Amino acid sequence: MTRSRTVVLGSALIVGAGALVALGAIYLDPARAAVGPLPPQALSLPAGTRFVMGLDVKRFVASPFYTRYSSAAGASARPQAFAELEEKTGLNPERDIDQVYVAGGQVPSGPRGADGLVVVTGRFDRYKVARAIETERKGVTSKTVQGITVYLFNEDRSGRGTGAVAFLDDSTIVLGAQSAVEQTVAARARGDVPLRSNTMLLGLIEGVKPGSTFWMVGDQTLLANLPKTIPAPGGPGSSQSLELPALKSLVVTGDLDPQVSLDLTGDTADEAAAKNLADVVRGLVALASLQANQKPELKQLASAVSVSTEATRVHVAARFPYELLDSIQPRSAPASASQPSSTP
């Protein structure tokens, strides 16, 4: 090999290596990597986020739960995020969406909440969706934030302020309150990942069971709004109440196939608080068992729940077969009993 060819080959190798390093910096940068089930795009959410919920739409729609109950209940069984997304974008969530994430801060301000956000990922034509928003939705205006179009929906008549929708990329849409959407869009355009600074919340998200159909995590700021006491067993006339230990965090995961499975993990201040909370939950389960004389199905319902503790954490696991859920569904009244007779 001549000297000139060696130089050319060496230069090509150096350029190729440099390109690989550059691509690695873009796509493998830890700051831009997914965190548990949360995609990189969602890391543009505000740092002050206090809870995040996720739903695997494809798993949900394919589950026995959806096929059994959604068709019977109609629109009432549909997640609210589905209805809002379809109303604003024309997308059919069951067909077009892969994942839905709902996030927000501590205390909602007003009926809708000042900082609530919904992030959806899916497979759709960005141009067609944008055109549908612009031409088929009444009262829509738009503005540009960091070079990205944000569509505004005036919702004052319902008392919810101004809602907004924007694309974070070709497969990701964010919608919610205008200020929160604009904040997220601006962060995404700058390449910022504000949620990375919320280490506690990200730590909870990393602990979500992989492959869960739905999940939720929340920190103690959000959980501070939960009730501090609940009525003690003993009937309506009882004046006693049970004090609930404060939770520092909560992680909920669930699956819907082949049965409804729920796993809840609450972190308390110390081991004594964890034991106290576990005893309260066990007491409520035992109370349900006592009702089995009047409602035999409750005996199986109570046995489907188990409670355990690990240091400062309380674990609640529930496994509900669909046959059990069917048995406790309210019976529909016969049509003849609910409709007046047409004969005189």
- Per-residue model confidence as pLDDT tens digits over 200-237: 999 999 999 999 999 999 998 777 766 677 776 655 55
Give how far Cα 204 sits from Cα of 12, 54, 199, 226, 254, Å: 45, 13, 9, 19, 15
The sign one gets for the Cα dihedral 289, 292, 298, 303 is positive
Judged by average pLDDT, the poorest of 22-26, 129-133, 196-200 is 22-26
pLDDT at 191: 95
Q: What is the pLDDT of residue 234?
A: 57
260 bridge partner residues: 320
pLDDT beyond 80 at 312: yes
> What is the token pair recorded at 203?
């730590």
Q: Are 249 and 266 in contact (CB under 8 A)?
A: yes
So what's the pLDDT on residue 106? 52
- Inform me whether the pLDDT recorded for 113 exceeds 60: no
Q: Which tokens is 134 given?
A: 């612009």
Where do the domains of the chain lie, and which CATH numbers do they carry? Answer: 34-195 (3.40.1000), 226-327 (no CATH)
Angle, nearest 10°, between helix axes 126-136 and 80-89?
A: 80
Distance CA 168, CA 126 (A): 11
Please report the pLDDT score of residue 55 as a whole number.
95
What is the bridge-based pairing of β-strands 247-255 and 229-231?
Answer: unpaired
Position 10 pLDDT exceeds 60: no
Q: Quick check: 249 pLDDT over 90?
A: yes
Q: Whose structure tokens read 């669909």?
A: 322
Report for 18-22, 53-57, 298-302: range of highest mean pLDDT: 53-57
Identify the pLDDT of residue 33.
81
Give me the amino acid identity at 219. Answer: D
Measured between alpha carbons, how far is 279 from 286 in angstroms, rounded to an integer? 10
Provide the pLDDT for residue 75: 58
Q: Which residue has the higher pLDDT, 183 or 336?
A: 183
140-145 β-sheet, strand order? 140-145, 148-154, 162-169, 172-177, 117-122, 97-104, 51-56, 214-219, 247-255, 260-268, 313-320, 305-310
Residue 28 has pLDDT above 80, yes or no: no
Note the pTM of the prediction, 2 decimals. 0.80
Could you tell me which residue, 230 or 270, shows the higher pLDDT?
270
Q: What is the pLDDT of residues 124-170, one digit of tens each?
A: 899 999 998 888 777 899 999 999 999 998 765 554 568 999 999 99
Residue 253: name the closest of 34, 46, 49, 59 by CA: 59
**Higher per-residue pLDDT: 197 or 112:** 197
Residue 109 makes CB contacts below 8 A (sequence gap 6+) with 115
Q: Is the pLDDT of residue 268 over 90?
A: yes
How would residue 327 be classed by pLDDT, with cut points 50, 70 and 90? confident
**Residue burial 244-272, b: 16+ Cβ < 10 Å; e: rest:** bbebbbbbbbbbbeebbbbbbbbbbeeee
Statement: residue 331 has pLDDT above 70: no
How high is the mean pLDDT of the chain? 80
Q: What percent of the chain lies above the pLDDT cut of 70?
A: 75
Among 240-249, 265-274, 276-285, where is mean pLDDT lowest? 240-249
From 81-95, 146-160, 187-201, the region with the lowest mean pLDDT: 146-160
Adjacent-strand bridge partners of 261: 255, 319
What distance in Å separates the CA atoms of residue 66 and residue 94, rounded to the nearest whole number?
11
